[in-house]
Chain A
Amino acid sequence: MTDLLGEDELAIEATLNGKPLKRRVKARQHLADFLREELQLTGTHLGCEYGICGACTVMIDGRVARGCLTLAAQISGKSVDTIEGLTESGKLARLQREFIARNAAQCGFCSSGMLLTAYELVRSGRSISRAEIRDFISGNMCRCTGYHAIVDAVEAVIAKNAEKGG
């Protein structure tokens, strides 16, 4: 089915932030644009739009993915979580507290993507070295270059995890 501009449209059914989603989407629209423009979920940011910067990071079926390198059509049948849903659910609360405590979100542009990537890392519950943290977040660029504070924040959450576990 095509609209007046000749853009192909199709119906999708997915889970978004834990709730069912039924929409018609444009075939050519990537997920980050869909979230921002059709659903007004503007916490997912757009930087480079070719997979380098990580600002558009979302979670698909529980793993981080690039919103700009995924078509909205591709999420049909899948579960997507964004910064909005994960914040509301409290899953990011500890990371967010540690980010705020040391001003690890400076301009804030990278923060939503950075938090989601960090969440995938700390969720594993294992102890993780500083070098591993740096490697893991290397696909999320912070142009304020506030990496030290970000790594500190992630490290603090992992340390507190370990205390709890031990």
Chain B
Amino acid sequence: MKARNFRYIRPSSLEEACRILADGGGDAVPLAGGQSLLAGLNMRLSAPKLLVDIGDLKELTGQTHHDGVVRLGALTRHAELLGSELIQKHVPLLTRAAAHIGHVAIRNRGTLGGSLAYADPAAELPACAVALGATLMLRSVVGEREVRAEDFFTGLFETELKPSELIVAVKFPAIQPGTAVGLAELSRRQGDFALVGLAAVASLQRDRIGTARLAYFGCVDRAKLAPAVSAAVRGLSMPLPDTSAFAQAIRQDLAPEDTAGLRADTKLHMATVLTRRVFNSLSQRATP
């Protein structure tokens, strides 16, 4: 199908973009990589009146690493998450996640900020941001504010982002020694959105799990932090022989609902299997 009619504007600065969004009063929608937005427009799932193309704004690019914080511009492409040495070294979870996103043509265009703003419940990057404890920098005509990733995602395709705001950058804590990251997902076909996925950041003391931050995706309405599972796995030795120690905690944290084609108990089973798989993949990489 073809998109409905809309107007298109390409502002030349971040300031101008913010002003257009403020004036647009909700009828204006930012366009970055467009890999979800334009698919939705072609299918007529949405019909904004004005697309504000922010895809070439220099202010939204760049990758820096200072004092243990990696700041990535909102326009960082998925292909850069895979290819950037700085990201591979300091935020390796993002590199692992990017390999699961769509296909090469999608990764060449899709952006970090776009994925977070779109907040698809099955997307990898929102879960990574939550698991890593990232902070989103939001900007509008009234100024800049910071929102923690775990507070940013509020529901199905819903976020804290106001129609007049843009994500300008995301700050990730750089990986610390003794910390391992893991990400896995179950999907029906290569490149499809996950039915169930898990992004994990865990400190390891030899073969024991210390503190862990886990964010599940695909099986619930948003990228969801799992505090009960984190508490349940604390102190467990790896490799985990079975799932008895944390299966109940997964049920408590996720409480998934039946959806078309996938029952809640199936989701829980998949999440449980995946959790053990992710932790045991961490143990393989743990250094003595």
| Partner-B contacts on A (CB < 8 A) | 5-8, 10, 27-28, 30, 33, 49-51, 54, 57, 60, 63-66, 68-71, 73-74, 76-77, 117, 120, 135-136, 138-140
Contact = CB atoms under 8 A, between A and B. Distances in A.
Given A27-B51, A57-B105, A69 B34 contact: yes
A30 B42 contact: yes
A68 B7 contact: no
Contact of B104 (A33, A49, A51, A139): A139
B27 to A, nearest CB: 13
A27 B8 contact: yes
A51 B38 CA distance: 9
A27 B6 contact: yes
A154 to B, nearest CB: 13
Which interface residue of A28, A30, A73 has the most chain B CB atoms within 10 A?
A28
16 contacts: A8-B5, A30-B3, A49-B2, A49-B42, A51-B102, A54-B103, A60-B108, A63-B79, A69-B109, A70-B34, A71-B31, A74-B34, A74-B55, A76-B10, A138-B103, A138-B191
B104 A28 contact: no
A73 B38 contact: no
Given A66-B105, A73-B53, A33 B7 contact: no
B4 interface: yes
Interface of B: 1-8, 10, 31, 34-35, 38-39, 42-43, 51, 53, 55-56, 79, 102-106, 108-109, 190-191
A57 B109 CA distance: 12
Given A50-B43, A71-B38, A138-B191, A8 B6 contact: yes
A75 to B, nearest CB: 11
B53 A28 contact: no
A138 B105 CA distance: 10
A159 to B, nearest CB: 21
A76 B199 CA distance: 38
A7 B5 contact: yes
Contacts of A7: 5
A54 B191 CA distance: 13
Contacts of A63: 79, 108
Nearest to B4: A28
B34 A135 contact: no
Contacts of B108: 60, 63-65
Contacts of A65: 105, 108-109
Given A54-B103, A139-B103, 5 more contacts: A27-B7, A50-B43, A64-B108, A66-B35, A69-B38
Contacts of B53: 71, 73-74
A68 to B, nearest CB: 7
Nearest to B105: A64
Contacts of B79: 63
Of B3, B4, B43, the most chain A CB neighbours within 10 A belong to B3
B191 A66 contact: no
A70 B38 contact: yes
Given A28-B2, A73-B8, A135-B190, A50 B105 contact: no
Q: Which of B2, B35, B104, B109 counts the most chain A CB atoms within 10 A? A: B104
A60 B2 CA distance: 21
Contacts of B42: 30, 49-50, 68-69
Nearest to A140: B103
B103 A71 contact: no
Contacts of B4: 28
